[in-house]
Amino acid sequence: MTRIVMLAATAAVLMIAAIFFPFLELQVGGLSRKSSVFDAITAFSASGMLPLSIAVAALIVVLPFARLVAIAYALGPMALGWHPAPQAARAFRWAEATRPWAMAEIFIVGVAVALVKITGLAKVTPGPAFWAFAALVLVTVLKDSFMCRLTVWKTLEERSRS
Amino acid sequence: MENARRTQSVLTARRAGLVGCTTCGRVHARQAVTCRRCGSRLASRDTGSLQRVWAWLFAGMIAYIPANLYPMLVTSTFGKTQQNTIVGGVIELFDHGSWGVALIVFVASVLIPIGKFIAIAYLAVSARSAVVIRGHGRQHLYEVVEFIGRWSMIDVFVVAILAALVQLDFVATVHPGIAAASFALSVAFTMISAQNFDPRLLWDAYEADDT
């Protein structure tokens, strides 16, 4: 359980780095352009598809981040051996329900496809945020595979009763 | 693992006069309404499930039509504008010689959505009628559909990244097309449809068989 909380915290820090550092750099001749994850989110709103922009933001940044916070909140006190925090069950249930909607790892595969699409056109260099995001995906996958949901529920119930 | 231990004979919650929670696995007496452990709503069988599955499935199918007809990407290079639909993008990748990526995009944005429509419809039909494949096969099908649905979003993200990155004024610019929005909607609708399906319905016919 300590391991899960630590991984969640790691992922949250990586997420912050991934959003604000430049993600990819594109160079054609003398022109170059840096873009961050944030630019990818706003790309749709420039073409008048603001709702899609909001949806993409929710799927790749807001939801994964909120899930990490919820899991750390629900499991953190238990990892330290304390009573579960109030509403811990609700936080964990919410994190479980939103799991299919957190699409950070799909975004990374999307990036890979996009890179192949434009390599013919221009030179692309991945920035620090790209590596942060890739690490974030790895950490999230590790965290999800360490976590046994039924055990977490059982412990939550036992600890809050005593 | 909590569920590693197996009992020899299977006793379902419903036959024991109990109701199981689909979120955390705790069982309650029949008349319980919310789960005491995790607070989710309880129902022995989700009776409105199939209705919602069909509704979201049709919404997803309808949104998938404009997603294929309208352009997904609008690329302008040196003043020339080119519009690409989903299938057009796949063909272009294929022409470039990047078969692997073309295959990924084709699977994610054509095969998976269509396969999902068929699979969900099949599950919803078979939950009502006589058993065709036994429970295990259908349960696997359901799990695959639920797992794989989200990967269709790849194409939307590809468009977002391309549109953010390729903004070099006159030399080359990429704008997302309206199909990106309707494709995202279609994927979201079918995901909701799959989540609304109650897999316990698959086992009822099976259970009736062996009594």
- What is the pLDDT, as a whole number, of residue B147? 81
* Same domain for B105 and B19: no
Beta-carbon contacts below 8 Å between A and B: 152
* Same domain for B70 and B167: yes
* Same domain for B77 and B116: yes
Low-confidence winner among A38-42, A64-68, A93-97, B3-7 (lowest mean pLDDT): B3-7
Low-confidence winner among A3-7, B10-14, B63-67, B190-194 (lowest mean pLDDT): B10-14
Per the prediction, chain B carries an average pLDDT of 75
**Mean of pLDDT values over A70-84:** 73
In chain B, pLDDT over 90 holds for what percent of residues?
0
User: How far, in Å, CA of A158 to CA of A98, rounded?
Assistant: 24
ipTM entry? 0.72
- What is the pLDDT, as a whole number, of residue B107? 82
* Same domain for B58 and B18: no
User: How far, in Å, CA of A73 to CA of B101, rounded?
Assistant: 39
**How many Cβ atoms sit within 10 Å of the Cβ of residue A45?**
16
Q: Report which DSSP code applies to A125.
A: E
> Distance from B2 to chain A by nearest Cα, in Å?
6
Of A135, A16, A111, A48, the residue nearest B160 (C-alpha): A111
Q: A95: phi > 0 → left, psi -120 to 50 → alpha, else beta; which?
A: alpha
Q: Report which DSSP code applies to B31.
A: T
Task: Indicate if the pLDDT at residue B118 is higher than 80.
Answer: yes
Of A9, A18, A8, the residue nearest A41 (C-alpha): A18
* Same domain for B56 and B39: no
**Mean of pLDDT values over B58-81:** 80
- What is the pLDDT, as a whole number, of residue A146? 74
Q: How distant, in Å, are the alpha carbons of A15, A57, B176 from that of A10?
A: 9, 21, 33
B67 close to B141: Cβ distance less than 8 angstroms = no
- What is the pLDDT, as a whole number, of residue A162? 53
* Same domain for B95 and B24: no
* Same domain for B91 and B24: no
The ranges assigned to domains in chain A are 2-161
Tally of structural domains, chain B: 2
* Same domain for B7 and B93: no
3-state secondary structure (DSSP) of residue B169: coil
A139 close to A14: Cβ distance less than 8 angstroms = yes
* Same domain for B182 and B169: yes
* A31 contacts in chain B (CB < 8 Å): 168-169, 171
pLDDT tens for A124-154 read: 777 777 787 788 888 877 877 777 777 777 7
CATH number at residue B175: 1.20.140
Residue A33 to residue B168, Cβ atoms within 8 A: yes
Residue A35 to residue B165, Cβ atoms within 8 A: yes
Domain span at residue B120? 47-209
- What is the pLDDT, as a whole number, of residue A70? 81
- What is the pLDDT, as a whole number, of residue B193? 85
- What is the pLDDT, as a whole number, of residue B133? 55
Residue A93 C-beta-side C-alpha neighbours within 13 Å: 19
Going by pLDDT thresholds of 50, 70 and 90, the confidence category of residue A59 is confident
Q: What share of chain A is helix, strand, coil (3-state, %, to 5)?
A: 75, 10, 15
* Same domain for B85 and B158: yes
Residue A106 to residue B153, Cβ atoms within 8 A: yes
> Distance from B177 to chain A by nearest Cα, in Å?
8
Of B153, B163, B169, the CB nearest to A43: B163
pLDDT tens for B156-196 read: 888 877 777 776 666 667 777 778 888 888 888 888 888 88
Cα B21 from chain centre: 22
> Distance from A151 to chain B by nearest Cα, in Å?
6
Going by pLDDT thresholds of 50, 70 and 90, the confidence category of residue B3 is low
- What is the pLDDT, as a whole number, of residue B15? 67
Residue B158 to residue A117, Cβ atoms within 8 A: yes
**Mean of pLDDT values over B94-103:** 76
- What is the pLDDT, as a whole number, of residue B109? 80
Going by pLDDT thresholds of 50, 70 and 90, the confidence category of residue B7 is very low
- What is the pLDDT, as a whole number, of residue B90? 80
- What is the pLDDT, as a whole number, of residue B211? 44
Per the prediction, chain A carries an average pLDDT of 74
Residue with tokens 């990407």: B73
pLDDT tens for B23-61 read: 676 777 767 777 777 767 777 676 777 788 888 888 888
* Same domain for B163 and B177: yes
Higher pLDDT, B121 or A85: B121
* A26 contacts in chain B (CB < 8 Å): 165-166, 168
Task: Indicate if the pLDDT at residue B5 is higher than 60.
Answer: no
* Same domain for B23 and B53: no
* B165 contacts in chain A (CB < 8 Å): 24, 26, 33, 35, 39-40, 114, 118, 124
- What is the pLDDT, as a whole number, of residue B1? 45
Alpha-helical segments (H) within chain B: 49-69, 86-96, 99-106, 112-128, 135-148, 154-165, 178-196, 200-209
- What is the pLDDT, as a whole number, of residue A32? 66
Residue A33 to residue B181, Cβ atoms within 8 A: no
Of A100, A65, A85, A156, the residue nearest B24 (C-alpha): A156
* A29 contacts in chain B (CB < 8 Å): 171
- What is the pLDDT, as a whole number, of residue A148? 73
Of A59, A117, A150, the CB nearest to B25: A150
